Amino acid sequence: MKVSSSATHTENVPKDKHEAQAASSPARDVTQRFVYPDDRNMERPFDSRQLVRLLGFMRPYRRLGVTALLLTMLGTAANLATPYLLKLSLDMFDPTIRIMGHQQLRSQLIVYTGLLAACYLILFLSSRKRIVVTNLLGQYVLRDVRQTLYAHVQHLSFDFFDKRSAGSIMVRIINDVNSLQELFTNGVIQSLMDVFLLFGIAGIMFSMNVKLALAAMLVVPIMVVLSTKMRITVRRAWREVRKRSARINSHLNEAIQGMRVTQAFVQEEENQIFADHLNNDYRQTMIRTSKMADLLNPLITITGGLGVCLVYWYGASLYRQGEILLGTVYAFAAYQGRFWEPITRLGNLYNQLLQAMASSERIFEILDTQPTVTERVNVVILPQVQGKVVYDHVSFAYTAGKPTLQDVCLEVEPGQTIALVGQTGSGKTTFVNLLCRFYDVTGGRILIDGHDVRDVALPSLRSQIGVVLQDTYLFSGTIMENLRFGRLDATDEEVMAAAKAIGAHEFIQELPQGYQTQVSERGSGISLGQRQLLSFARAVLADPRILILDEATASIDTETEKQVQAALAKLLEGRTSFVVAHRLSTIRNADCILVMDHGRIVQKGTHDELMRQLGIYRDLVTAQYRFIA
Amino acid sequence: MDVFLSLKAYYWAYRYTGLTSLALVVLTTALALVRPRLLSVIIDSVLIEGRYERLPALAFWVFGAAVLQGACHYGRTYLGHVFGANVVSELRNGLYKRLQSLSFSYFDTARTGDLMARLTGDVEVFRQFLAFGMAGLLEFILMVSLGLIMMAGLDWRLTLVSIIFMPFLAALTIRFHHVIHPAFTHLREAMSDMSTAVQESITGIRTVKSFAREPQQIALLRERIETFVARHMGMTVIWSRFFPVMELLGHLSVVVLLLYGGMQAISGRISVGTLVAFFQLIWMIIGPVRQLGYQINNYTQSLAAGERLLEVLTTPRTVRNRPHAAPLDSMQGHVVFENVSFAYDKKHLVLEDVSLDVKPGMTVGIIGATGSGKSTLVSLIGRYYDVTKGRVLIDGRDVRDITLESLRRQIGIVFQDTFLFSTTIRENIAFARREATDAEIEAAARLADAHDFIMETKDGYQTLVGERGLGLSGGQKQRLAIARAVLAQPRILILDDATASVDMETEYAIQEALRAMPQQCTKFIIAHRISSVKDADLIIVLDHGRIVEQGKHERLLALNGVYRSIYDVQYQDDPTKSVTATPAVSDPAM
């Protein structure tokens, strides 16, 4: 967060204009024009408990894991055998021991060739199977992690979503789980194998010749340093480049979306300066990074060359002394070359683990969050609701010590319409949220037909209460599917009947594909008022006994306004309804109006009763009409 | 290749860097082939013939070649990166410039996702090709041809035998990339479906929970995950069908080489050193051949990417300064529409024969149904689009004869869908006038009734908003956008449904403040609520692109037409009619 540095000293208002510009000049710095906070933490220190917990997800698939391990072992063994077979073949040509006749040599060669072919065949078969098995294992584990995480999130209560942006939850379920893929697909199995491979190579080398083996191992420490220490530095350096690239992308995305604003206010040049700055920063970081990072591979080449040089030189002198055979020199060079891969991969594994730590920490943080609204032990299924609702000395606070509702009492008879009126923050929405148990009361209780809402099963409670929210959320899919969200088993005819009842049928018919028109969260040619009609239809389809309605404050198209009002009347008919109301027509017709102020009910009564009193209600109503009077 | 020629301007300045990098590829490749040759000499001459005095020099050259190879490799990759970074910067720069100069109509139809894919994905593909792809192709050609030459120089028969599988390998790798590509696209689609499911159910969580639909959402995601897993495994199966076979073909070369070469060596037709050199050389060819499919794929993709980038770079600019356009200094704000018609596409008119005369300082209210042309009408003032017929005049001059810059600088607009940038509240308000003082910014915020809520945020005016910043409500965003427009000190102010998400009291306060603005300013206010426009000097009622009614509030009410019917819907039962009004609430802000 770059911005924090300049955050504090802009409060004082300077008297003179020049001074003003001087005083706040750091904020004028063009590089501060837009701020793109960098991505989340990508690495965490190693934590073995967390790793164990993560590996726990592999438990159900341990048979797959064992199969993968066995297949990998088989392949590795076959792979390790091949240089040895070549060594044996070359040994036949060693002038010091050339005692066999040509015929013998030929048959010997055929045997070796056959064995070599057999090894390659084993490798072929095992890797064919191994690729499938390891991927299956990885995908199953990831699937489970994702599914568990998602199901858990679905059951978390509203307070969890209040505190976080949808984006940050998204990132965990998608990106953080993805970043574990490599670890589960190859990481775990492969690293076990690599250890096996390293010991295998070392074993073979030492068994061939201890002295030459020691000589060949001389470069191993350099290899280890290069492939762990330097590789980490290199990766971190590249991450800096990616960060800059991500910043450019964020800006581009925003520049496109905000292009109208930019052009309308003629800010193209200023934006260009900012973009140039980002672009140059990227270019320079990229060049600086590759200057260092591109050293890694050449250094590996040189170290490899040094190793080979040592093996040839020392190998030749050992050969001269008759300690080793011809093929051994070749075999050492070949095996030494194979040392690289496992060391590099193990170095990478360490990198992967650090990244997995960061991801899994975020995943577990969610998994460890408990829902605040939970089912009690002896819940009953809420029977068919009649619609009598009682608030019995209800209090609620989002944060302790700051009550949002205080000692609210109310009795509502089945079929009544209650309108809630009051300023933003007076507790209207909280009042209705408690009824559906989106939050639990902190004091008192709420009864529906005499049942405490906390004593009934959540699905039976919520499925009998319909909520129409202020911002109608449409899922991507057809209009039909969106309406059916209200009742999943509704037939097409029932859906259409609901739309007709609410007066939405006409405009749906006029859409290009009628009920089959694809809609999405944004745009798609449906006005705000029409969206609201859709959500009314959804509620009609659900046919709840209790209805909660949060009327939109946003102005609705003049042409749909009438329809919405008619639909509303239809919707409220015969249901116990709570309406957070803005339209005077709704308020007027309510059986009871609750005027809320600072979490308390300050006035209660019908429109006419309340208009006769001097108080908040009368003030609110007249204030609205003053604009028109 | 046309694509690369057309993009020449972006890389020509860096051609020497690129060429040096390619030259070093040649050296690196040649040096890589030195080691097998040295090994064969060591075996034949030193070990078998016993000329040990040659060993130090040969061993030294093994190391020396590696050092040289490393150095060349370093130069090659580093210069490749530098070349790629420079060219991509130029390219991005060009793209950005072009995008900024494109007209509103382009952004109406262009999808952000698609554009972003070009600006990020395609640019990166192109960079990769410049940095490594070209070098890779060159390396393939060199490695294979030099390797073959060297092998043939050692023994041509053995060469033929050992490369017998290469054509199959090459064909297979090309085929592999052909098949894996669609599978990969499929996988990405499944991934995006999965993300969409998660995103929707999280953003719509309140709807989900209020209908108790958690089980269905979980089931939906399970389905998407299963599809993803299935696609992934589908790709894995392709991989498992091809990859081991490609590996096996390489290995078969070694087997054949051992059998045939061994026999030859036994009968003394070739030396052992030659055989060993072949064992090493064969791998140097197998490697690049296995990469062939990737290289070709990379090349075709970068061609396609380049084409898509060119498309953006050559998109024509529709609204631009005419040659004789002159700036309009200190605008008075006299706006005249003269028989203006407008169509986004050739077919149907959004505005039809609209005439209007707005005197400086007047407030115009515009009301009408969705699609009646309200937003279009006001977009023509700042020349966001050009009229199809007729003229729009400001202070008596056709807007097309005024430079865009001077025209737009004097117009402040608040768009229907409020857009805030990812930066501080302060920077957002001061977007059009970064040199504004804190006092001016605060005054603008106060005017838009935004100061109070800004001060309630954690860092006040330094609070970050936008995509990753603090989430603001629709009404709060609108108020910031109003402050932004006001701070620009416009002579014409346009509010396109700019107070839709703020409540009536706040809207009233903002309108009062706008009225009291010190400088003279012509205002256009688009609204749905009668209350937003009723005090305007002129109210226009639009219907299907035509002005059907215009005049002051009282006059329009008396007309008993469209305006009246809108009024009746919104105020059918004014309760204050039946009771004596009490004094208004003094502070309507919440």
Close Cβ partners of B182 (under 8 Å, ≥ 6 residues apart): none
Helix (H) or strand (E) holding B552: none
* Of B297 and A389, more confident: A389
Question: Is there a domain that residue A415 lies in?
Answer: yes
- With an 8 Å Cβ cutoff, are B419 and A261 in contact? yes
Nearest to A117 among B59, B255, B581 (CB): B255
pLDDT at B195: 85
Query: What would the two tokens of residue A629 be?
Result: 């009077």
pLDDT at A24: 43
**Among the ranges given (A197-206, A398-407, B12-21, B477-486), the one the predictor scored with the smallest mean pLDDT:** A398-407
- Of the candidates B383, B411, B393, B324, the residue with the CA atom closest to the CA atom of residue B355: B393
Query: What would the two tokens of residue B286 be?
Result: 């197998």
- Domain count for chain A: 1
pLDDT at A230: 87
- Whether pLDDT at B396 is above 90: yes
Confirm or reject contact between B473 and chain A (CB < 8 A).
no
A-chain CB neighbours of B212 within 8 Å are 458-459, 462-463
Q: Return the bridge partners of A395, or none.
A: A443
pLDDT at B25: 94
pLDDT at A558: 64
- CB proximity under 8 Å: B 18-47 to A: 35, 39, 42-43, 46-47
Question: pLDDT-based confidence at B198, cuts 50/70/90?
Answer: confident
pLDDT at A5: 37
Asked if A133 and A75 touch (Cβ cutoff 8 Å), the reply is no
**Which CA distances in Å does A155 have to A394, A458, A553, B213, B272?**
25, 11, 30, 10, 71
pLDDT at B585: 36
Phi, psi (5° rounding) for residue B540? -110, 130
- Say whether B390 sits in a helix, a strand or coil: strand
Quote the distance between the C-alpha of residue A18 and its chain's center: 48
Mean pLDDT of B24-48: 90
Asked if B339 and B390 touch (Cβ cutoff 8 Å), the reply is yes
Nearest to B534 among A7, A554, A628 (CB): A628
Which tens digits make up the pLDDT trace of B529-549? 888 888 899 999 999 899 999
Question: Is there a domain that residue A340 lies in?
Answer: no
Mean pLDDT of B186-205: 85
B-chain CB neighbours of A473 within 8 Å are 203-204, 206-207
Question: Is there a domain that residue A47 lies in?
Answer: no
Q: How far apart are CA B209 and CA B216, in angstroms?
A: 11
Query: What would the two tokens of residue A254 be?
Result: 């925003």
pLDDT at B412: 93
Question: Is there a domain that residue A470 lies in?
Answer: yes
Question: pLDDT-based confidence at B577, cuts 50/70/90?
Answer: very low
Q: How far apart are CA A547 and CA A502, in angstroms?
A: 15
pLDDT at A626: 61
- Compare all CA atoms of chain B with the CA of A38 and give the residue at the minimum distance: B468
Mean pLDDT of B410-419: 89
- Compare all CA atoms of chain B with the CA of A9 and give the residue at the minimum distance: B462
Query: What would the two tokens of residue A628 be?
Result: 């028109």
A-chain CB neighbours of B67 within 8 Å are 302, 305
B-chain CB neighbours of A158 within 8 Å are 206, 209
pLDDT at A427: 84
Taken as a whole, chain A contains a residue count of 629
Close Cβ partners of A19 (under 8 Å, ≥ 6 residues apart): none
- CB proximity under 8 Å: B 141-200 to A: 194-196, 198-200
- Whether pLDDT at B377 is above 90: yes
Question: Is there a domain that residue A290 lies in?
Answer: no
- Whether pLDDT at B8 is above 50: yes
Q: How many CA atoms lie within 13 A of A354 on its CB side?
A: 14
pLDDT at B588: 34
pLDDT at B228: 92
- CATH code, A393: 3.40.50.300
Q: How many CA atoms lie within 13 A of A466 on its CB side?
A: 24
pLDDT at B47: 87
- With an 8 Å Cβ cutoff, are A20 and B462 in contact? no
- Say whether A593 sits in a helix, a strand or coil: strand
Question: Is there a domain that residue A490 lies in?
Answer: yes
Question: Is there a domain that residue A622 lies in?
Answer: yes
Q: Which amino acid is at A579?
A: V
Domain that holds residue A450: 389-626
pTM for the full model? 0.82
Question: Is there a domain that residue A549 lies in?
Answer: yes
Residues of chain A with pLDDT under 50: 1-27, 523, 629
Which tens digits make up the pLDDT trace of A88-128? 998 888 877 666 788 888 999 999 999 999 999 999 999 99
Tell me the pLDDT of chain A averaged across its residues: 84
